[in-house]
Chains A and B, each alone.
Chain A
Amino acid sequence: MRVVVLVKQVPDIVSDRRLGDDHRLVRTERDAVLNEIDEGALETALRAGDALGATVVAVTMGPPSAAGVVRKALQVGASLGVHVLDDALAGSDAVGTARVLAAAVRLLAQEEGDGDGGVGLVVAGMAALDGLSSVVPALVAAELGWPVASFADSVEITPGDESQGAAVTVSRDTDAGEETLRATLPAVVSVTDTIASLRVPSFQTMLAARKATLRVLTAADLGLEPGERGGVGAAGARAVVTQAAPRPPRPAPEVVTRDGAAALVDFLAARGLLEVGA
Chain B
Amino acid sequence: MKTYTYTEKKDTRSGFGAGLAELGRTNPNVVALCADLIGSLKMNEFIDENPERFFQIGIAEANMMGIAAGLTIGGKIPFTGTFANFSTGRVYDQIRQSIAYSNKNVKICASHAGLTLGEDGATHQILEDIGLMKMLPGMVVINPCDYNQTKAATIAIADYDGPVYLRFGRPSVPIFTPADQKFEIGKAVQLTEGTDVTIVATGHLVWEALEASKTLQEAGISAEVINIHTIKPLDDKAILDSVAKTGCIVTAEEHNHLGGLGESVARVLALHHPTPQEFIATNDTFGESGTPAQLMDKYGLNRGAIVNAAKKVLKRK
Same complex origin of A and B: no
Interface residues of B (CB under 8 A from A): none
Interface residues of A (CB under 8 A from B): none
